[in-house]
Chains A and B, each alone.
Chain A
Amino acid sequence: MEFLSAIIAGISLGSIYALIALGYTMVYGIAKMLNFAHGDVIMVGAFMMFIALTKMGLHPILCIIFGTVICTILGVVIEKLAYKPLRKATSLAVLITAIGVSYFLQNSAQLIFGAGSKTFTSLFGSGNISLFDGQIIISHNTIVTICVSVIIMIGLTLFINKTKTGRAMLAVSEDKGAAQLMGINVNKTISITFAIGSALAAIAGALLCSSYPILSPTTGAMPGIKAFTAAVLGGIGSIPGAMIGGILLGVIENISKVYISTQLSDAIVFGILIIILLVKPTGILGKKMNEKV
């Protein structure tokens, strides 16, 4: 029963990683860049929701919508100001810019909200459900996290595969030039991708801070890096890969916390990243790189 609890908690944590990893993987697939500022968008979203809840006294649902809208706009603005001028630059320049944006967001948050951490009140209530005569206790947060993530992942999959905009995203990720000649606006498609990725990050922020209620300007950094690991584990660029990679990583992290050591759990997670990069650099569902001879 302890094992089952650990798995459920792991799936819950993993769903959050998956939501964040989706943003990484979609942006990578379409703009061919690693947006290392993605993790900090989570933090901005969580702060917005925190303010909406404590200062403006909004209903939790409205708080989430407020934070999500702000992050969506933030994602599009970051892309326009920081990344779009570098569309033709080397990938290293874009990578360094992304790290710069990450520091900018963290330090701006520190300036505005202070460096100390705040206690985030769960947006989903604090109750528990006990099963099997109390042998398994599942919090409301866990249930909401898993349900919301599953709904979002199904919705996103339908959106990508069944709608015009989704198809355009797939086309741009495969061949920008050919997509343009079909009359597809590449810049607009990239903007939409950043908007969706950032909205998912905001929702992930709400779920994350409701389960782990400490909010500080660096809150987004660690989950961001772990979600990146998840995206690589699943195969960066692959949307189902990010989902599988995220959940798998959450379960592994939680099981190592329960059965091995809390201190070592992060080392195990990043150890996995190293092993994947050595054994199967393209990840679980990643495409083979065809090398021309």
Chain B
Amino acid sequence: MALLEVKNLGIVFGGLHAVEGFNLTLEKGSLYGLIGPNGAGKTTIFNLLTGVYKPTSGTFTLDGVKLAGKNPVEISKAGIARTFQNIRLFKNLSVLDNVKLGLHNQMKYSTAEGILRLPRFFSTEKKMNEKAMELLKVFDLENEATTLADNLPYGKQRKLEIARALATNPKLLLLDEPAAGMNPSETQELMDTIRFVRDEFDMTILLIEHDMKLVSGICEEVTVLNFGQELAQGKTSDVLNNPEVIKAYLGD
């Protein structure tokens, strides 16, 4: 069975069909691209898949569990995590605390135990610290653990956002324009990181990207969106050479 199955997903904002009839099947371990001109509805699809928006039509399932209509907290628990186009780290918290927030639901102790500092508070916090440091090491951020997220250089903030998303222990990772604002060498490093995450964490990744070098470099398959509808879908190299797709990007 496919990990993610999206069927006929759509949302209408006051008469505007922002996304219409979107279908997608993602097998476990795939690295899939979602591309299209600005305003095509790519981020809207991410917002639908993470419960930020409720779909007005269609449905989607993760591992056979229906998630359409659920709220972001439920969807996060079910195993979908994401990063943002404009980085949304908790800027005034440390790098370590950002990742620990990703672990929020996996490690439990009650508020009362936290106030009274009972043994479970200390043991759980210690476990959280260890787990978070492990993740930071993977992304080469362990030396910046106590730095405020806001003070990290841009490329590292992107990495930290991925680390934080992975901390929620997702089955599916959504990356919204991970290469935005990066120079070619940073983009190259990012491609390696994304591949590494897929292999190391056995992760399924769906990403939105404008950088075609990144898309053709790492995505096995892509869907092209235009005006909220699917324009083309298939193997990356085929789709990128499709005249319809070129027309949508460059005009007539």
Contacts and interface: CB of A to CB of B under 8 A. Distances in A.
Contact of A174 (B82, B90, B115): B90
B102 interface: yes
A180 B92 contact: no
B72 to A, nearest CB: 4
A285 B100 CA distance: 26
A220 B71 CA distance: 39
B90 A170 contact: yes
Interface string A155-192: 10001001111111011001101111111111000001
Nearest to B169: A183
Contact of A183 (B84, B91, B105, B125): B105
B102 A182 contact: yes
B77 interface: yes
Contacts, number: 81
A177 B50 CA distance: 11
A169 to B, nearest CB: 10
Nearest to B106: A183
B111 A171 contact: no
Decide if the interface of chain A is mainly helix, strand, loop or mixed: helix
Given A162-B125, A183-B73, A183-B77, A178 B168 contact: no
A163 B73 CA distance: 20
Contacts of A159: 114-115
A170 B125 contact: no
B118 to A, nearest CB: 11
B164 interface: yes
B107 A181 contact: no
B92 A174 contact: yes
A287 B92 CA distance: 10
A167 B91 CA distance: 13
B24 interface: no
Contacts of A185: 73
B35 to A, nearest CB: 23
A155 B102 CA distance: 25
B84 A178 contact: yes
Interface centre among B50, B89, B114 (most CB of A within 10 A): B114
A181 B121 contact: no
A181 B72 contact: yes
A174 B72 CA distance: 17
B64 to A, nearest CB: 20
Contacts of B88: 175, 177-178
Smallest CB-CB A-B distances: 8 pairs: A163-B114, A183-B76, A180-B72, A183-B105, A178-B88, A165-B111, A174-B90, A182-B101
Given A170-B97, A178-B88, 5 more contacts: A174-B93, A180-B73, A180-B76, A183-B104, A186-B73
